[in-house]
Amino acid sequence: MPQLGESVVEGTIGKWLVEEGDTVQKDQPLVEILTDKADSEIPSPVAGVVTRIAAKVDEVVQVGGVLCEISEGGAAAASPDPAKPAPADEEAPAARTGTKAPASPAVRKLAREKGVDLTEVQGSGAGGRILKKDLEEAAAPPAPKAPAVPTVGHAEIPQSLPMPRPSAFKPPPYRPAPGDQVVPFSRRRRIIADHMVYSKQTSPDVVTFAECDLDATARLRDKYKDQYKKEGVSLTFLSFVLAATTRALREFPELNARVLDDSYVLLRDVNLGVAVDTPEGLVVPVIRNADELTVRGLARAVADLAVRARDGKLTPDDLANKTFTVSNPGLRGNLVGGAIISQPNVGILRIGTIKKRVVVVEKDGQDLMAIHPVMYMALTYDHRIVDGVHANGFLYRITEILEKGDFEL
């Protein structure tokens, strides 16, 4: 199993494209791997014959684990040495199946952080799948016994209070009514769902909003969009938002960061993730070093990534190492709405649909009414390291750049 991105530590077997005994060429796709980033096809590193498939569909394989064995030149793979029988006077150890407990990448990562052995956890999900709550229950220390209440004097005030534990109450299982349609999670949807729950449980997030008058940016866009169209570049409003965001990230580095256990890192590179909707679900391809690109360069990059995302041609590198995300719901988007932070980032900007609205403008010392294109923006940020003053300043700076139309095309 190769490394499919900086934060990817394992993958799920989605579909084998070859069978045992098949002859394969170098770089021929062998297997589809599903991660919390995207589906990826793993190519053969050599030409030869597939002698053994080591991992079954839906099995989770760690980075560096064996997917299959290929014999170069078609020779049969060497058989492993037979296991030596245990001495008669020793008790044989319990056999291990080697099959991993079913759990999502996010749950496995959390288990490693908490030091929990997943083979000892009973899963409550479908097919025995281990859910986040199962892991938390296994990792939680036993409840301490209540201390005796003194009959005289004053009780000491504790220096710190224990964190409240979630209620042990479990609602009765839901039974669908006649006519209801039960839709099982696809592997892709299951991983997305687990990642969203993990993010909400990881980041204490706050959402702040801003209104943005796009009149100046719209005039600049109208001036150059036909010229750019002849060059094959679609000059969208999103490219202007991305340009403003990269400049604001340089001025407010707390938003271009990631949290470690007891510290955080202000990241050198500005790699913007741009959410793209595909038939298989939402993916977030990455524009690397976005702060070094002009509006034209950003427009080209967005168009290229969007096409490859919808065609299913993104590579693992296209989805790795984002430092901040911008979500654009498009023409059919709504007025405004918050988004969930994509871990391990500490912020995500969601822009609403653009509508013409009546605004008040000042001219020659008088307030006048005008009709301008207006957009609302929502910034979700991680309050562990981002204070409100920095988040508000960051969003205000983006608004200021857009309202002035201050761009290098």
* CA-based end-to-end distance of the chain: 42
Q: Catalytic: which of 27, 387, 390, 406?
A: 387
| Token pair listed for 263 | 């510290």
Confirm whether 39 is a catalytic residue. Answer: no
Alpha carbons 224 and 233: distance in angstroms, whole number? 10
- The SS3 assignment for 362 reads strand
- The SS3 assignment for 357 reads strand
Confirm whether 58 is a catalytic residue. Answer: no
Measured CA distances, 407 to 11, 81, 244 (Å):
41, 67, 8
Element (H, E) at 376: strand 366-382
10 φ/ψ angles, rounded to the nearest 5 degrees: -160, 170
Contact at 8 Å (CB) between 54 and 69?
yes
Alpha carbons 278 and 9: distance in angstroms, whole number? 24
90 φ/ψ angles, rounded to the nearest 5 degrees: -115, 145
Alpha carbons 242 and 239: distance in angstroms, whole number? 5
Contact at 8 Å (CB) between 68 and 53?
yes
Q: Catalytic: which of 81, 213, 383, 406?
A: 383
Alpha carbons 389 and 178: distance in angstroms, whole number? 53
DSSP assignment of 230-298 equals HTT----HHHHHHHHHHHHHHH-GGGSEEE-SS-EEE-SS--EEE-EEETTEEE--EETTGGGS-HHHH
Residue 128's CB is within 10 A of a number of other CB atoms, namely: 13
Alpha carbons 53 and 111: distance in angstroms, whole number? 27
Q: Which residues are known catalytic residues?
A: 383, 387
